[in-house]
Amino acid sequence: MVVGREDMTLPSHMEKRGDVSVDSGHTRLHELGYKQELKRDLSMFSNFAFSFSITSVLTGITTLYNNGLNFGGPVSLVYGWFIAGSFTMFVGLSMAKICSSYPTSGGLYYWSAKLAGPRWAPFASWITGCFNIVGQWAVTTSVDFSLAQLIQVIILLSTGGKNGGGYEASKYVVISFHGGILLLRAIINSLHISLLSFFGQLAAAWTNFLFVFFLFGLWINFSGKKSLLEI
């Protein structure tokens, strides 16, 4: 009973070899000539929760509905999702393989240096770092700005709507919302890793709940309809 419970709570970087738990990442770091300095306390589900939360499935779908329907129609939304998702999966599997081979804290920079070779290693690490930080800026600010716009719409609808004299926040108020969200995100990311793990798992569970609720709402809304054109 005790052994089974230990297996269930075993971190993702630990593996069983007989009756002994071995840190596979530590062993690989030792083979690469490095000593482990950082603690890795995230379980497999916590790692998944972080990745799933960063992906922001519901945020990406809902904020791009307008563009997709206007410029591509339902075909682009349905088949574009599967096509782009398939190619993204190949990229994710490739990066997972590289990560398992080089489990270092440097991450992308170290991988780039190793894959590029000694001659191009500095440039590869530098250009990877530049693209990565710009991508992080773009993703974070765009998602948070979408949330600020969502808050604007919630306030407008809750105060009577556009035709009912509701409060429509100006662009400066929306930017203030955006700044507050960014500040809140910075504070949360400064917390202890155990709290970050909890927030990540909470976000993943909440996102899955909202997704199921969204699909159930669509089923309720469209049940009994003969055609979407009649809606």
pLDDT tens digits for range 155-167 = 988 888 888 888 8
Q: What is the pTM of this model?
A: 0.60
- In sequence order, what are the beta bridge partners of 17? 20
pLDDT tens digits for range 104-149 = 777 788 888 888 888 999 999 999 989 989 988 888 888 888 889 8
- Helix or strand run (H / E) with residue 33: none
From CA 149, how far away is CA 145, in angstroms rounded?
Answer: 6
Q: Which residues contact 50 (CB under 8 A, 6 or more apart)?
A: 42, 196, 197, 200
From CA 10, how far away is CA 22, in angstroms rounded?
Answer: 10
